[in-house]
Amino acid sequence: MDAGDRQALARRTPGAGLKDFATDIDMKRMRAYRLGRVQAELTARGYGAAVLYDPINIRYATGSSNMQVWVLHNAARYAFVPAEGRVTLFDFHNCEFLSRDLETIAETRPATSWFYFPAAQNTEKRVRKWAAEIHELIVKHCDKTKRVAFDHLEPEGLRALEAMGVVIGNGQEVMEHARCIKSADEIACMRISISVCEAGMARMRESLRPGISENELWSLLHQTNIAMGGEWIETRLLASGGRTNPWYQECSDRIIRAGELVSFDTDLIGPFGYCADLSRTYFCGPGRPSDEQRRLYRHAHEQIHTNIDLLRPGMTFREFAEKSWRIPNEFAKNRYAGIAHGVGLADEYPAIVPWPDFDNGYDGVIRPGMTLCVESYIGAEGGTEGVKLEEQVLITDTGVQCLSTFPYEEALLA
C-alpha cells in the first residue's frame, strides 16, 4: 500500500462509536449471536423469513445502521432476514457502501420506498415493484412456507403480498423475544453505554445550581453522549420543583431554584446503539433537603432495592409483581406504569407492571441473560414534588448484578 492509499484509507476510517467495528469487543461474534437469535425465533414460530423496517431491529439482526432516527419515521430502509442464510439489505439511495464489510449481509440493494413523502400519487406503482422484490426473495429463500414476519407494514403492502399468497405474521414478537437474552459482548457494549451515561449524569450533578435552566442542565447529558460516541436520547424527561409531580413532564426553560428537587430519566442510546436507562433525583443546594423531600426519596430508594433483591432467574413476572414492594396508598394514583422492563438497543420486552395493574399485564419468566431496568416514582396526588429512581441490572444464573453504579444523594437519604 503506497502513501496515497494509506492516506485514503485513513480518511475513510470511522471511529469506534460510528460503526460496530474495531474494538476490543468481538463485534463479529456479537453479530453472529444476534442474527442466530433472530433466525432461531423465526424457525420456532414457523416463519420462512422476516422483513424488518424498525432500524433498531435491522441493527440487531445485521449490525448495520444508517440515519437511525430519520428512518424511525421514514420507511426508507428495510432488511429481508431468511430463517437460514444471510440477509438482503435494502438501503437508502446510494448508501449501499455503508454495509459492504458486514458478513451478516449477502447483498445490499437500493430500497423501493413507497411511504407517502417520496411516493405520493406513485404509491401503488412503487408498492407493486416492492412486493415483487420481496416475493422474489421469499420464493428463493423460503422453500417450505410463505409465512413471513413483518415488524411494520402499511396496508398497501399487506394487500399486495397477500394477493401473492404470502401469509403475514407479527415480526415485532419475533424480534422482542430474540433481543431479550444478551450475550457477553452485548453486556460489554451496554457497560460502555452506561459509563458514558453516568459521565453525563456526573456533569449534570456538578453543574446543578440555582439559576440554571432545565434545558441547559439536560443539554449536558446530550453533549457528553455525542462527544463520547453515543447516538441519541429518546425522551426529554427532566423536571424540577413542582414540575416533578406528576411525572412525565419533559424539560423546559424553567429556572431551577435553591431547595428544589430535580428528577430525570436518561433514556440514552449510547455507543454501539445500546441503551442506558437510568433515573436519579438531585437536590439543588445550598441548604438541606426538607423532611418531606427525604421521605419521598427514602420510599423510592426502598422500592428500587426491595425489588432488585427479589429478582432471580426462573421467577415469573406474576410472582415478581405479587411479591414486589407495596406502594403506599398516598402514592398509588401517581404510581409508575411499570416496576421493571427489558433494555437492550432500546426499551424492550418484558414490561412488568405493578401488582394492582397485573390483570392488564402479561406473564412470562425472568431468565439469565436478561437485562432489566427497575423503576420507581414516588409522588402523592396533589403533592408538591416527586422522586424518580431507576437502576439497570443483569439477570445471572444465580441472581442479579447491578450494571449501573451512579451514587444516590446522601443528603436525601440522611
Query: Looking at residue 19, what is its pLDDT?
Result: 47
The whole domain housing 27 covers: 3-177
Query: Looking at residue 12, what is its pLDDT?
Result: 62
**Angle 346-350-355 from CA coordinates, rounded to 5°:** 130
Task: Select from 375, 377, 337, 374 the least CA-distant residue to 245.
Answer: 377
**One domain, residues 357 and 253:** yes
Last residue of one domain, picked from the residues 123, 146, 177: 177
Chain mean position to CA 135: 31
Query: Looking at residue 20, what is its pLDDT?
Result: 47
CATH classification at residue 100? 3.40.350.10
Task: List, in sequence order, every residue forming a beta bridge with 372; answer none if it has no partner.
Answer: 342, 393
Query: Looking at residue 145, what is its pLDDT?
Result: 83
378 contacts: CB under 8 Å, gap ≥ 6? 296, 297, 299, 300, 303, 327, 331, 386, 387
Cβ neighbours around 328 below 10 Å, total: 12
Reading the block at residue 60, the C-alpha cell is 440487531
Last residue of one domain, picked from the residues 177, 205, 238: 177
**One domain, residues 340 and 407:** yes
Query: Looking at residue 23, what is its pLDDT?
Result: 52
**For residues 330 and 311, what is the distance between their CA atoms, to the nearest angstrom?**
26
**For residues 257 and 359, what is the distance between their CA atoms, to the nearest angstrom?**
41
Taking the chain (414 residues) in runs of 10, the rounded mean pLDDT of each run is 58 51 77 98 97 98 96 95 98 92 96 93 96 96 91 96 96 98 96 96 97 98 97 98 97 98 98 97 97 98 98 98 98 97 98 97 98 98 97 96 96 96
Query: Looking at residue 21, what is its pLDDT?
Result: 45
**One domain, residues 135 and 248:** no
Query: Looking at residue 18, what is its pLDDT?
Result: 45
Task: List, in sequence order, every residue forming a beta bridge with 255; answer none if it has no partner.
Answer: 213
**For residues 372 and 49, what is the distance between their CA atoms, to the nearest angstrom?**
28
Strand boundaries in 312-383, DSSP class E: 340-343, 347-352, 371-378
**One domain, residues 173 and 193:** no
**One domain, residues 234 and 143:** no
Label residues 87-120 b or e (16+ Cβ within 10 Å = b): bbbbbbeebbebbeebebbeebeebbbbbeeebe
**For residues 42 and 150, what is the distance between their CA atoms, to the nearest angstrom?**
11
CATH classification at residue 356? 3.90.230.10
Number of domains in the chain: 2
DSSP secondary structure string for all residues of 177-213:
HHHTS--HHHHHHHHHHHHHHHHHHHHHHHH--TT-B
